[in-house]
Amino acid sequence: MAEGFLNLSSSNKSMERLGLEYLEELLSRSLLQHAPNDKSSFVMHDLLNDLATSVAGEFFSRLDIEMVPDVRKETLEKYCHMSFVCDEYIAYPKFDPFKTAKSLRTFLSLQGKDSFEKFYLSSKILVYLLPELPMLRVLSLGNLCISEVPETIGSLKHLRYLNLSNNPITHLPASVGNLYNLQTLLLYGCSDLIKFPNNFSKLKNLWHLDIHFTPLLNKFPPLQGLRREFETLQMKDDEAVADFLSRVMTNVNQKRAYGEVVSNQQVVEKVLRSLPTNGITLSQPWKNQRICLGLPLIN
């Protein structure tokens, strides 16, 4: 989703539904398979992994613990995806050459299965490296003992996915509100997190917010939840259009109460997208008629 691989223009399905179908297709073709000890996770066969790594060679880099990048500047400029295997202390010098990787879209930390293992990321990576990577779409920095997120995070305008889970942060900087393309924000296990910035509601494209195990967080941004609910609302098989419209309007009125602008056209489009794909039965009185939604006529 964050990399823009989902083609929504040719479908009336939600982004999450379309993504699930893509995943099921990959599973059916055995390009992915369930992890042996965790059915909620997926793995790629070693042979497929080697093939994918080979094909993506000039656009992908993975830093192992002992590896120091020794590549030409021209090569770094081509990289789109980078991951690194976590050592206990992750120092800045190993990453400094990546300041020239201006096309980098993915920055991932890779960790072992031991959830109790601690890793420490140098704050210089956050302050000096990330602002030099303006094209980032995916940033995953969970469980790295990050205590403060710098204001410069707001310069990553293309960011779609941000994972800061299991870090001892107490707050997010106000500049997070500038990440208007952000779709997924993971704050799972941030037990010291107290509050969101006041401008958090500016994240109008935020689809998924995970704040499980954040006991000190006492103010959930309700507008984000309402936006997600609106996108995922679906008509039940035996539900009348009027009843579904009532559920949609309850959500819309709550959003409007928080200052959200929702047009009648958006409501109509939502209801029409949710109609059964197998057509309307003859027993329904509005067969072959325009559906009256009780809203002002919109051209």
Alpha helices (H) in 149-292, listed in sequence order: 222-232, 241-257, 264-274
| Pairing between β-strand 38-43 and β-strand 33-35 as defined by DSSP bridges | antiparallel
- Domain membership of residue 227 (yes or no) is no
In the chain, what percentage of residues exceed pLDDT 70? 80
Return the amino acid letter for 174. A
- Domain membership of residue 101 (yes or no) is yes
Q: Are residues 295 and 245 in the same domain?
A: yes
Q: 254: domain range?
A: 237-277+287-299
Mean pLDDT (the chain) is: 80
Q: Are residues 32 and 173 in the same domain?
A: no
Q: Are residues 80 and 206 in the same domain?
A: yes
- Domain membership of residue 6 (yes or no) is no
Helix axes 241-257, 264-274, angle to 10 degrees: 140
**In the prediction, which pLDDT does 288 show?**
38
Q: Are residues 188 and 267 in the same domain?
A: no
- Domain membership of residue 293 (yes or no) is yes
Q: Are residues 139 and 209 in the same domain?
A: yes
What residues does 65 pair with on adjacent strands? none
* CATH label of the domain that carries residue 95: 3.80.10.10
Least reliable range by pLDDT among 34-38, 110-114, 171-175: 110-114
- Domain membership of residue 5 (yes or no) is no
Residues 152/174, Cβ–Cβ less than 8 Å: no
Number of domains in the chain: 3
The pLDDT tens digits of the residues spanning 105-152 come to 999 998 866 557 889 999 999 999 999 999 999 999 999 999 999 999
More confident residue, 253 or 78: 253
